[in-house]
Structure 1
Amino acid sequence: MQDSLITSPSNPRLKALVALRRRRQREDSRLTLLEGYDELGLALAAGVRPRELYFCPELMLDAAEQRDVVEAARSVGAQTIQLSRSAFEKVAYREGADGFLAVVASIERSPDELSLPERPLVLIAEGVEKPGNLGAMLRTADAAGADAVVAAEPVTDWGNPNVVRASKGTVFSVPVAAATTRETLGWAGARGIRVVATTPDTDTLHTEVDLTGPVAIAVGTEKYGLTDEFLVAADVRVRIPMVGKANSLNVATSAAIVMYEAVRQRSTRL
């Protein structure tokens, strides 16, 4: 099949791609952007079916990568469009572009739509505003085998291109959802999922609680932490021991520490 070719950076189709960097446009169109060879490969392996794939041979590291990924996208129904270097640089949103940019369906899901096992391990991020932190938490969730990540009171959407980039595409391999704090707590309670809230204001260490059952580990913003609503409703509060002078850890680091304690406990139990 012959690919379409766009050489002009002012092509209207490229302007539509740039518009997807805006949240309102993503929400209205229910589409988002996915850039990068590795990210695209992971998304395809997770069953994502791109609507369109834009590629630039001049920016690719080798021809084999081009053929494999372009053909894989085409085989699941994607329209493939070749761009000149100047045209691709118009739509690329990250430094060091490697010549791959896809349009995919946005991830819009409520916690009620998640399919969970009997003993789920869930990560809840309340009010986390930085796409880089959300992306890092997704990578941890993917590596730890978490069953879902829920954004409570999300400041940004899961389709934010910077979340996709920071997650290295794992936003498509880990089931994600978004809801209000009240909805998230109600969902966890209705399913018998124990909510473990991270906070420095407790004497209980994260290693001292049982994380082997159905559990949701909750983290909040770096500046304020979890809201009082979340802390009051949580089944247990835990802290990570700190002996330095800083009074907090990066939220993605905190999530990783407690998540991997859950992994340790669960592997010991098997």
Structure 2
Amino acid sequence: MMEAKLISSLQNPLVKKTLLLKEKARERKKTGRFVVEGRREMELAQKGGYVLETVFFCTEVFAETGIDSFLGNPQTELVQLTQQVYEKIAYRETTEGILAIAKSKSHALDGIQFKNKSPLILVAEAPEKPGNVGALLRTADAAALDAVLIANPKSDLYNPNIIRSSVGCVFTNTIGMGSTEEIINFLKANHVTIYCAALSASKNYVECNFKPATAIVVGTEATGLTEDWLQNSNQNVIIPMQGEIDSMNVSVSAAILIFEAKRQRGF
């Protein structure tokens, strides 16, 4: 294992930098860096091609012998923290004693290339709650979707709440971000059929053909999808309700539609 420097002061500049990255979306955007915490999340970040620039560990919590797998990049800096300092910068209450500063990726639409001729895509318009974003990303990973596209994002993708609620699936999915107009144009340019989850002019989801290139589009629970999506939808779809309410949590609805598409495709 490479030699680690020790930080024991809460006033250390690197500690202050890490706290800013953890707490401030503006700092993450400005620097193109974010904090990822936990062994599984760090492993998934590496698997997803993210560069861990600085790895922090606390020997009171994390066994030093398990750190070598995170040091594949020769430019990675290794830093040992005292327990007091580690607990200050850690995000979780129940933590694993290891975290890192990682370099963000571009999520521009023009960087997305589909391996499948008939991709299956999830589009979420303006998701507000980090927990919902994380749940959508977990579902997308479970279904091995070709891409997740976030239109008019309200939350920073590297928000610690999204990383935690997605259990690291923010790193395992192909994610694109843009305005509603940009994503609609992207889907049309790639000859993708647009199915919008909406109450009006809708067809029962089990009667729809999700086998060709398909985008399943979901909106917020409060207001649904904007008019731009409804005007550009090839078909609105609905999940019939048998109780008193007319909608479900957006991540639950998305999962039902996605796995119906997977069933039709024989997976």
2:102 is aligned to 104
> Is the Cα contact below 8 Å between 1:126 and 1:154 reproduced in 2?
yes
Aligned-partner Cα distance in 2 for 1:240–1:234 = 16
Would you say 1:72 and 2:76 are equivalent positions? no
Offset from partner CA, 1:141-187 (integer Å, 9 cap, x none): 01101011111000012122211111111111111111000000000
- With normalisation by structure 1, the TM-score equals 0.93
Shift of 1:194: 0.8
Aligned pairs for 1:82-231 (under 5 A) are 82-117=80-115, 118-231=117-230
> Is the Cα contact below 8 Å between 2:50 and 2:105 reproduced in 1?
no
> Is the Cα contact below 8 Å between 2:202 and 2:235 reproduced in 1?
no
Q: Given residue 186 of structure 1, which amino acid in structure 2 is its aligned partner?
A: N
Aligned-partner Cα distance in 2 for 1:123–1:95 = 32
Offset from partner CA, 1:32-51 (integer Å, 9 cap, x none): 11111111122222332201
Aligned-partner Cα distance in 2 for 1:145–1:183 = 24
Shift of 1:246: 2.2
Q: Which moved more, 1:200-209 or 1:259-268?
A: 200-209
- With normalisation by structure 2, the TM-score equals 0.94
> Is the Cα contact below 8 Å between 2:37 and 2:98 reproduced in 1?
yes
> Is the Cα contact below 8 Å between 1:122 and 1:216 reproduced in 2?
yes
Q: Which moved more, 1:20-29 or 1:197-206?
A: 197-206
Would you say 1:19 and 2:17 are equivalent positions? no
Aligned residues: 263
Aligned-partner Cα distance in 1 for 2:56–2:217 = 38
> Is the Cα contact below 8 Å between 2:135 and 2:251 reproduced in 1?
yes
Q: Please, what is the CA RMSD of the aligned residues?
A: 1.3
2:55 is aligned to 53
Shift of 1:130: 0.7
The answer to which structure has the higher helix fraction is: 1
Offset from partner CA, 1:87-125 (integer Å, 9 cap, x none): 011111222121121111123311221111211111111
Structure 2: state its 5+ residue gaps: none
Shift of 1:85: 1.1
Equivalent residue of 2:60, what SS? Answer: helix
1:5 is aligned to 6
Give runs of ≥4 in structure 1 deviating > 3 Å: none
Offset from partner CA, 1:15-73 (integer Å, 9 cap, x none): 1011112111111101111111111122222332201111112223xx3xx533x2122
Shift of 1:202: 3.7
What is the aligned-residue identity percentage? 37
Aligned-partner Cα distance in 2 for 1:215–1:203 = 16
Equivalent residue of 1:192, what SS? Answer: coil
